Structure 1
């Protein structure tokens, strides 16, 4: 049975990494090859499947994560990250630093991909930890949870936007309805999870090379205006492009240019170039010093990117092995509420494949024929599959490895922290979708 293969492969991966202490990159590739063989992928095709899985995942993340890490290190080595973190602490107070991280993450996360917003905010979180001595997860976990909620639940992020067309749903209304439960649920879990006993026991150290070890004096740091302005450049570019894309027609002559500068890689590249000057020659630092910061960040990212890429290979063989098709065939005959069915199929696919995008697209394809005569609002169907796609993030999800490596956790610790919060968000999200649907029906909307 395909799902048994998935379960055994996950256990094998955990054994290799926790008991044998084998490197994560090697473990993922070994298990991916074994799964491909068991699922009948032709031997001569396996290298191509692995290569496509690694290439597809790295292609999506390398530029964003690489540029983001360099930008963070340049800001850290110049004192700009310390300036921003100090301002956040002054504004919210040391006791409410988690609230500061949640507010910041949600504002950025509405329009920015999880990975993009993560690599922009995480240097500030690292600096707060270094300056205050707080536990890394106490500061960083609320940020990650808030970003996960915005990215997975709401358009214009890829999953919800991709299936809006399938259900003939309004992207604007989907975002509007989703905000009613995404913000309170995301904030609740973000503030509760770091306080849970099994999370409080974890006290990881910060990964080396991604954060400056130096503490700057007031005079040495750039001004708050420059520090914040540079940090907000990619936010403004990406957010403006997302809003512009929803507001204008495809024939608009300015659309190609706006889309270009608002794409995450280009926005981050432009921001990094600005940061190189603003936190380099402008304040008396040589270009060689700034380049050293970029090189240090790139070296620190090497293993993180390898592990993320291997996670993509593992995901690729699961898809190639026909597991998504098997789940689709099994669930097509289930006779339950379209909302619950859409959510459940997305959850099963997410557990089996690790890919949120595959989960939402496949789940939408299975239940789309049921929506027309059901009376369910199409926007609620979009939100149902989107909420289901966040559940059970674990070792077959490349995002899991990014979370694990940045927060320097063991595999078991990452499962305890991330898998539990993503699953809880998915369950609460389903409740939110059902509640909003009931309210719309009661109001006759």
Structure 2
């Protein structure tokens, strides 16, 4: 644990004070940490490659296709149309609330990284139109996706934890919403307004969200068309996650060809690719753009996020080193046998796993595995209690997103933030989400 803490401190010094390029700093610290922690020399490079490759496999296609979809929304004027509609319906003062509520709705089946990527053009357009720090609009959206990703099925973390703990996923959905919505309102929406008022951050220079499209004049898409394009990947992904849940319950046959095809199309990268193809026709060809223009715009969208993808992968590499060395397992095992209340122990174990290796999903599932024997041995736990324990684990897996979390680098780079700004905005918001969510679940656990 001392070596892990020291490696994080060294990484922060290199990036914040020495101004070393983050990818170089992450590689150097990951390599040094692996050697100090005693990972065998013949396993060091494999561990680095597994961390890098595993993270890139999760985010590269999602971020790439998401950026393409966002670019089509921008150049067609679709982002501006939806932004105008939100502001008109909710008013300028409630624009952050409107964006956050939309994030909660879209956050049911869609993952944090894909959801943020899709919503950023709208967030940037609203920020340019209304002024003020982009954090005022971005944090409520990012926080909405973070809450839904951690607390609510059918996302993989809570579903896996529910299976290990023995909680009912249908009831967990209701309990997750009961805890998650007030948690979002306080820790993401409220903190976003507070942080936006104290940390002015302009729309990133590499963003093309100017609020104006480049499609032929007078041919901007309607609000319904834009919403339909945003809902398309949402519905495809929901089809995948819904069928997966039904297959686990034995309601549908997972071996059926039609089910397998539907689940394949609903994988996040494929769903986003389908949405890009549809948007190229609906927002491009049908509004006067040529195929060459569309190809050029889609290609240019990738140049702005290439660094984001690589730095995110490097963050996963650092997390993989800490996980391979078993930094979190020893302390988690000690907490599991410390005799503290089971819901508190579940939360603390998840915190340890989150801080040690970075991934919220890994922390959630690992902590659930650690605490599952204690839950099974406990008497008098109701179905709601089991769900609240899962939410406590999810809360612990959310706190303290820092330099070993690929999401830390993804959000920071997408919003154009340096490391100190990311720490005092994204990291603080994630920690607030975890703490508020745990306090609410603990309170309900004591009362119900």
TM-score bin, normalised by smaller chain: over 0.9
**Counterparts in 2 of 1:190 and 1:343: CA distance versus 1, 3 Å:** same
Separation in 2, partners of 1:357, 1:181: 18
Q: Is the 2:125–2:211 contact (alpha carbons within 8 Å) kept by the matching residues of 1?
A: no
- Offset, 1:218: 7.4
How far the C-alpha of 1:213 sits from its partner, in A, is 3.5
**Matched position secondary structure for 1:203:** coil
**2:391 alignment partner in structure 1:** 383
What corresponds to 2:279 in structure 1? 275
Unaligned runs of 5+ in 1: 441-445
Does residue 307 of structure 1 match 2:311? yes
* CA distance in structure 2 between the aligned counterparts of 1:395 and 1:225, rounded to whole angstroms: 40
Q: Is the partner of 2:377 in helix, strand or coil?
A: coil
Q: Which of residues 368, 374, 393 is equivalent to 1:370?
A: 374
Instruction: State whether structure 2 residue 217 is matched by structure 1 residue 224.
Output: no
How far apart in 1 are the matches of 2:38 and 2:406?
24
CA distance 1:92–1:218, shift in 2 (3 Å): farther
Residue 134 (1) aligns with residue 167 (2): no
Aligned position for 1:434 = 442
How far the C-alpha of 1:199 sits from its partner, in A, is 4.8
Shift of 1:404: 0.4
* Secondary structure of 1:319 counterpart: helix
* Residue of structure 2 equivalent to 1:329: 333
Aligned length: 437
Cα deviation code 1:221-240 (max 9, x no counterpart): 12222222112111122223
Cα distance, 1:342 vs structure 2: 0.6
Show CA shifts across 1:201-222 (max 9, x none).
3222333444244624972412
1:206 aligns with 2:214: no
Q: How far is 1:190 from its partner? A: 2.3
Q: Deviations over 1:219-272 (max 9, x none)?
A: 241222222211211112222333343345241634212212221111101100
Indicate the SS of the match to 2:164.
coil
2:234 corresponds in structure 1 to: 235
Q: Distance between the aligned counterparts of 1:167 and 1:190, measured in 2?
A: 28
Corresponding position of 2:145: 147
Please name the residue that 1:443 is paired with: none
Structure 2 residue 357 is the aligned partner of structure 1 residue 358? no
Give a deviation string over 1:340-374, Cα, whole Å, max 9, x none: 10111101111121121221222112211111232
Q: Hey, what's the Cα distance between the residues in 2 that align with 1:431 and 1:93? A: 32
Q: What is the CA–CA distance in structure 1 between the aligned matches of 2:35 and 2:197, rounded to whole Å?
A: 41
Partner Cα separation in structure 1 for residue 318 and residue 245 of structure 2: 34
1:54 aligns with 52
* Aligned counterparts of 1:226 and 1:332: Cα–Cα separation in 2: 51
Query: Matched residues in 2 for 1:132 and 1:240: separation?
Result: 36
Among 304, 319, 325, the alignment partner of 2:323 is 319
SS in 1 for 2:420: helix
Structure 1 CA distance, aligned partners of 2:2 and 2:196?
30
Structure 2 residue runs of 5 or longer lacking an equivalent are none
Runs of 4+ in 1 over 4 A off after TM superposition: none
1:264 aligns with 2:276: no
Cα shift readout 1:296-351 (whole Å, capped 9, x = no counterpart): 11111111011000001000100111213322332232101111101111011111
Provide, for residues 17-61 of structure 1, a one-character-per-residue CA deviation record: whole Å limited to 9, x for no partner: 111111111111111111101101122321111111000000001
- Provide the C-alpha distance between the structure 2 equivalents of 1:366 and 1:223, rounded to a whole number of angstroms: 51
In the superposition, the TM-score normalised over structure 2's length comes to 0.93
Conserved 8 A contact 2:336-2:345: no
Q: Which residue of 2 aligns with 1:72?
A: 70
Tell me if structure 2 keeps the 8 A contact 1:209–1:297.
no
Structure 1 counterpart of 2:402: 394
Given that 2:239 and 2:266 are in contact with CA atoms closer than 8 Å, whether structure 1 keeps it comes out as: yes
Q: 1:39 aligns to what?
A: 37
Q: CA deviation at 1:81?
A: 1.1
Task: Please state if 1:410 is matched with 2:410.
Answer: no
Q: Verify the 8 A CA contact 1:72 1:210 in the aligned structure 2.
A: no
Is the contact made by 2:132 and 2:196 (CA closer than 8 Å) also made in structure 1? no
Q: Secondary structure at the match of 2:372?
A: helix
